[in-house]
Amino acid sequence: MSEKVFEKLATQSASELPYVTGTGGGLLGLGRNPGRDQRPHAAINLSGRNVTVFLDVALEFPTDIAARSAQIRHHVTASIEHATGLDVRRIDITIKALTPQTDRSRRSLQ
Which candidate, 93, 102, 88, places its Cα nearest to that of 14? 93
Domain count, the chain: 1
List CB contacts of 14: < 8 A, sequence separation 6 or more.
Answer: 20, 40, 42, 55, 57, 72, 75, 76
Answering whether pTM is above 0.85, one says: no
Q: What is the CATH number of the domain that holds 42?
A: 3.30.70.1350
- Write down the pLDDT at residue 28: 46
Residue 55: inside a domain, yes or no? yes
Residue 105: inside a domain, yes or no? no
pLDDT tens for the chain, 110 residues long, are: 788 999 999 999 999 999 999 876 554 444 455 555 688 999 999 999 999 999 999 998 899 999 999 999 999 999 999 999 999 999 999 999 988 876 544 444 54
**Can you tell me the distance from the alpha carbon of 41 to that of 21, in angstroms, rounded to the nearest whole number?**
10
Residue 10 lies in domain:
3-23+33-100
Residue 107: inside a domain, yes or no? no
